[in-house]
Amino acid sequence: MLLAGRIAFVTGGSRGLGRAICTTLAREGAFVAFNYARSDADADATLAAITEAGGRGSAHKVSVLDRAGLVALAKALDTTHGKIDILVNNAGFGQVVPLALMEEADWDAMLDTHVKGAFLATQAVLRVMVRERYGRVINVGSLAGVKMMQAPVHYATAKAALKGFTESLAKEIGRYGITVNCVAPGILDEGVSDHLPPARKEEYLRHCAVRRVGRLEEAADMIAFIASERASYTNGATLVVDGAV
Protein backbone atom coordinates (compact mmCIF):
# COMPACT_ATOMS: atom_id res chain seq x y z
CA MET A 1 0.00 0.00 0.00
CA LEU A 2 2.56 2.55 -1.16
CA LEU A 3 -0.13 5.06 -2.08
CA ALA A 4 -2.75 4.72 0.65
CA GLY A 5 -4.97 7.78 0.75
CA ARG A 6 -3.60 9.32 -2.43
CA ILE A 7 -5.71 10.70 -5.28
CA ALA A 8 -4.35 9.92 -8.75
CA PHE A 9 -5.28 11.00 -12.25
CA VAL A 10 -4.06 8.91 -15.19
CA THR A 11 -4.45 10.10 -18.78
CA GLY A 12 -5.32 7.49 -21.37
CA GLY A 13 -6.27 4.87 -18.81
CA SER A 14 -8.77 2.75 -20.71
CA ARG A 15 -6.42 0.12 -22.13
CA GLY A 16 -2.87 -1.17 -22.47
CA LEU A 17 -0.27 0.42 -20.23
CA GLY A 18 -2.80 2.98 -19.02
CA ARG A 19 -5.03 0.23 -17.63
CA ALA A 20 -2.04 -1.46 -15.99
CA ILE A 21 -1.05 1.84 -14.36
CA CYS A 22 -4.57 2.43 -13.07
CA THR A 23 -4.79 -1.08 -11.67
CA THR A 24 -1.38 -0.91 -10.00
CA LEU A 25 -1.99 2.48 -8.39
CA ALA A 26 -5.35 1.21 -7.12
CA ARG A 27 -3.73 -1.93 -5.72
CA GLU A 28 -1.30 0.32 -3.85
CA GLY A 29 -4.15 2.21 -2.20
CA ALA A 30 -4.81 5.24 -4.41
CA PHE A 31 -8.17 6.41 -5.69
CA VAL A 32 -7.65 6.42 -9.46
CA ALA A 33 -9.46 8.70 -11.89
CA PHE A 34 -8.66 8.33 -15.57
CA ASN A 35 -9.75 9.88 -18.83
CA TYR A 36 -10.41 8.23 -22.17
CA ALA A 37 -11.48 9.44 -25.58
CA ARG A 38 -13.36 6.65 -27.33
CA SER A 39 -14.38 3.24 -26.04
CA ASP A 40 -16.84 3.07 -23.15
CA ALA A 41 -16.35 -0.70 -23.04
CA ASP A 42 -12.60 -0.33 -22.55
CA ALA A 43 -13.18 2.23 -19.80
CA ASP A 44 -15.60 -0.15 -18.07
CA ALA A 45 -12.97 -2.89 -18.26
CA THR A 46 -10.44 -0.63 -16.54
CA LEU A 47 -12.93 0.22 -13.80
CA ALA A 48 -13.57 -3.50 -13.31
CA ALA A 49 -9.82 -4.12 -13.06
CA ILE A 50 -9.49 -1.34 -10.47
CA THR A 51 -12.28 -2.89 -8.40
CA GLU A 52 -10.76 -6.35 -8.74
CA ALA A 53 -7.47 -4.93 -7.42
CA GLY A 54 -9.33 -3.79 -4.31
CA GLY A 55 -9.40 -0.14 -5.24
CA ARG A 56 -11.78 2.63 -6.26
CA GLY A 57 -11.79 4.83 -9.31
CA SER A 58 -13.74 6.88 -11.82
CA ALA A 59 -13.75 7.12 -15.63
CA HIS A 60 -14.13 10.39 -17.52
CA LYS A 61 -14.76 10.63 -21.25
CA VAL A 62 -12.78 13.70 -22.20
CA SER A 63 -9.99 14.12 -24.71
CA VAL A 64 -6.51 14.87 -23.44
CA LEU A 65 -6.58 17.78 -25.91
CA ASP A 66 -9.78 19.26 -24.46
CA ARG A 67 -8.41 21.99 -22.22
CA ALA A 68 -11.75 23.06 -20.80
CA GLY A 69 -12.73 19.45 -20.16
CA LEU A 70 -9.48 18.72 -18.31
CA VAL A 71 -9.83 21.85 -16.19
CA ALA A 72 -13.40 20.85 -15.29
CA LEU A 73 -12.24 17.32 -14.45
CA ALA A 74 -9.45 18.60 -12.19
CA LYS A 75 -11.90 20.91 -10.44
CA ALA A 76 -14.36 18.05 -9.91
CA LEU A 77 -11.66 15.82 -8.42
CA ASP A 78 -10.49 18.63 -6.16
CA THR A 79 -14.06 19.36 -5.03
CA THR A 80 -14.76 15.70 -4.31
CA HIS A 81 -11.45 14.67 -2.76
CA GLY A 82 -9.88 17.94 -1.66
CA LYS A 83 -6.63 17.30 -3.52
CA ILE A 84 -4.91 15.65 -6.48
CA ASP A 85 -1.67 13.98 -5.42
CA ILE A 86 -0.53 12.14 -8.54
CA LEU A 87 -0.71 12.82 -12.26
CA VAL A 88 0.47 10.22 -14.76
CA ASN A 89 0.72 11.60 -18.30
CA ASN A 90 0.28 8.36 -20.19
CA ALA A 91 -2.01 9.22 -23.12
CA GLY A 92 -0.44 8.35 -26.45
CA PHE A 93 -0.42 6.02 -29.41
CA GLY A 94 1.98 4.32 -31.78
CA GLN A 95 2.23 4.57 -35.54
CA VAL A 96 4.89 3.00 -37.75
CA VAL A 97 5.44 5.16 -40.85
CA PRO A 98 8.70 6.37 -42.44
CA LEU A 99 9.33 10.11 -42.51
CA ALA A 100 9.24 10.22 -46.33
CA LEU A 101 5.66 8.91 -46.31
CA MET A 102 4.46 10.75 -43.20
CA GLU A 103 1.57 13.15 -43.57
CA GLU A 104 1.60 16.46 -41.75
CA ALA A 105 -1.52 15.29 -39.93
CA ASP A 106 0.38 12.24 -38.66
CA TRP A 107 3.10 14.47 -37.19
CA ASP A 108 0.59 16.84 -35.62
CA ALA A 109 -1.49 14.08 -34.06
CA MET A 110 1.57 12.41 -32.53
CA LEU A 111 3.04 15.60 -31.04
CA ASP A 112 -0.35 16.90 -29.93
CA THR A 113 -1.38 13.74 -28.10
CA HIS A 114 1.91 13.01 -26.36
CA VAL A 115 3.28 16.49 -25.71
CA LYS A 116 0.43 18.98 -25.83
CA GLY A 117 -1.74 16.50 -23.93
CA ALA A 118 0.86 16.30 -21.16
CA PHE A 119 1.06 20.10 -21.05
CA LEU A 120 -2.71 20.54 -20.80
CA ALA A 121 -3.23 17.82 -18.20
CA THR A 122 -0.34 19.07 -16.06
CA GLN A 123 -1.52 22.65 -16.23
CA ALA A 124 -5.03 21.55 -15.23
CA VAL A 125 -3.91 19.89 -11.97
CA LEU A 126 -0.94 22.08 -11.10
CA ARG A 127 -2.84 24.74 -9.19
CA VAL A 128 -4.20 22.08 -6.84
CA MET A 129 -0.75 20.57 -6.26
CA VAL A 130 0.85 23.98 -5.67
CA ARG A 131 -1.88 24.88 -3.18
CA GLU A 132 -1.32 21.62 -1.31
CA ARG A 133 2.48 21.92 -1.56
CA TYR A 134 2.59 18.31 -2.71
CA GLY A 135 2.46 16.42 -5.97
CA ARG A 136 3.90 13.71 -8.17
CA VAL A 137 3.91 14.27 -11.93
CA ILE A 138 5.05 11.24 -13.91
CA ASN A 139 5.42 11.36 -17.68
CA VAL A 140 5.41 8.13 -19.63
CA GLY A 141 8.24 8.37 -22.12
CA SER A 142 9.96 5.67 -24.13
CA LEU A 143 13.37 4.17 -24.73
CA ALA A 144 13.00 5.70 -28.21
CA GLY A 145 13.07 9.14 -26.61
CA VAL A 146 16.37 8.66 -24.77
CA LYS A 147 18.42 6.34 -26.97
CA MET A 148 19.32 6.39 -30.66
CA MET A 149 17.40 3.48 -32.14
CA GLN A 150 15.22 2.59 -35.08
CA ALA A 151 11.83 4.05 -34.25
CA PRO A 152 9.25 6.24 -36.02
CA VAL A 153 10.67 9.76 -36.11
CA HIS A 154 7.53 11.52 -34.90
CA TYR A 155 7.13 9.06 -32.02
CA ALA A 156 10.78 9.39 -30.93
CA THR A 157 10.53 13.17 -31.19
CA ALA A 158 7.40 13.29 -29.02
CA LYS A 159 8.95 11.08 -26.35
CA ALA A 160 12.20 13.06 -26.37
CA ALA A 161 10.14 16.21 -25.85
CA LEU A 162 8.59 14.64 -22.75
CA LYS A 163 12.07 14.11 -21.33
CA GLY A 164 12.84 17.80 -21.75
CA PHE A 165 9.42 18.73 -20.35
CA THR A 166 10.19 16.58 -17.30
CA GLU A 167 13.57 18.14 -16.60
CA SER A 168 12.52 21.75 -17.04
CA LEU A 169 9.29 21.41 -15.06
CA ALA A 170 11.10 19.62 -12.22
CA LYS A 171 13.32 22.69 -11.79
CA GLU A 172 10.36 25.06 -11.99
CA ILE A 173 8.03 23.49 -9.43
CA GLY A 174 10.26 21.52 -7.09
CA ARG A 175 10.06 24.39 -4.58
CA TYR A 176 6.38 23.56 -4.07
CA GLY A 177 6.99 19.99 -2.95
CA ILE A 178 6.15 18.61 -6.38
CA THR A 179 8.44 16.15 -8.14
CA VAL A 180 8.41 15.52 -11.88
CA ASN A 181 9.88 12.35 -13.35
CA CYS A 182 9.75 10.34 -16.54
CA VAL A 183 9.50 6.56 -16.88
CA ALA A 184 10.80 5.33 -20.24
CA PRO A 185 9.88 1.71 -21.01
CA GLY A 186 11.44 -0.38 -23.72
CA ILE A 187 9.25 -2.74 -25.73
CA LEU A 188 6.39 -4.12 -23.65
CA ASP A 189 4.11 -7.08 -24.26
CA GLU A 190 1.11 -4.92 -25.21
CA GLY A 191 0.35 -1.44 -26.48
CA VAL A 192 2.67 0.45 -28.83
CA SER A 193 4.64 -2.73 -29.50
CA ASP A 194 1.57 -4.17 -31.26
CA HIS A 195 2.41 -1.90 -34.22
CA LEU A 196 6.02 -3.09 -34.57
CA PRO A 197 6.98 -5.57 -37.30
CA PRO A 198 8.34 -8.94 -36.06
CA ALA A 199 11.85 -8.16 -37.32
CA ARG A 200 12.02 -5.08 -35.09
CA LYS A 201 11.06 -7.10 -32.02
CA GLU A 202 13.60 -9.78 -32.87
CA GLU A 203 16.33 -7.17 -33.14
CA TYR A 204 15.33 -5.75 -29.76
CA LEU A 205 15.50 -9.18 -28.13
CA ARG A 206 18.99 -9.79 -29.51
CA HIS A 207 20.26 -6.70 -27.71
CA CYS A 208 18.20 -7.04 -24.51
CA ALA A 209 20.21 -8.50 -21.62
CA VAL A 210 17.23 -10.35 -20.14
CA ARG A 211 16.20 -11.68 -23.60
CA ARG A 212 12.51 -10.79 -23.36
CA VAL A 213 10.13 -7.88 -23.74
CA GLY A 214 8.81 -6.22 -20.62
CA ARG A 215 5.41 -6.69 -19.06
CA LEU A 216 2.97 -3.84 -18.67
CA GLU A 217 2.90 -4.49 -14.94
CA GLU A 218 6.67 -4.01 -14.66
CA ALA A 219 6.46 -0.50 -16.07
CA ALA A 220 3.40 0.23 -13.92
CA ASP A 221 5.21 -0.93 -10.79
CA MET A 222 8.02 1.55 -11.46
CA ILE A 223 5.46 4.34 -11.88
CA ALA A 224 3.81 3.41 -8.58
CA PHE A 225 7.17 3.50 -6.82
CA ILE A 226 8.06 6.90 -8.27
CA ALA A 227 4.65 8.17 -7.15
CA SER A 228 5.31 7.05 -3.58
CA GLU A 229 7.14 8.60 -0.64
CA ARG A 230 9.95 6.12 -1.14
CA ALA A 231 11.04 8.15 -4.17
CA SER A 232 10.62 11.56 -2.56
CA TYR A 233 14.17 12.71 -3.49
CA THR A 234 13.97 11.53 -7.08
CA ASN A 235 13.21 14.55 -9.26
CA GLY A 236 13.81 15.45 -12.90
CA ALA A 237 14.92 11.90 -13.66
CA THR A 238 14.19 9.64 -16.60
CA LEU A 239 14.10 6.04 -15.43
CA VAL A 240 14.59 3.52 -18.19
CA VAL A 241 12.75 0.20 -17.83
CA ASP A 242 14.09 -1.91 -20.70
CA GLY A 243 15.90 -4.98 -19.39
CA ALA A 244 19.24 -3.40 -20.47
CA VAL A 245 19.23 -2.89 -24.23
Do residues 47 and 98 lie in contact, with contact meaning Cβ atoms separated by under 8 Å?
Answer: no
**Which residue type, as a one-letter code, is found at position 81?**
H
Let me know the angle formed at the C-alpha of 186 by 184 and 191, rounded to the nearest 5 degrees: 95
**Cross-strand bridge partners of residue 180:** 137
**Cross-strand bridge partners of residue 57:** 32
Query: Is 176 annotated in the active site?
Result: no
What is the spatial distance between Cα 221 and Cα 56, in angstroms, rounded to a whole number?
18
What is the spatial distance between Cα 24 and Cα 214, in angstroms, rounded to a whole number?
16
Catalytic member of 36, 155, 204, 233? 155
DSSP secondary structure code for residue 215 in this structure? P
Classify strands 178-185 and 238-241 as parallel, antiparallel or unpaired.
parallel
Beta carbons within 8 Å of 105's beta carbon, 6+ residues apart: none
Beta carbons within 8 Å of 44's beta carbon, 6+ residues apart: 59
Residues recognised as catalytic: 155
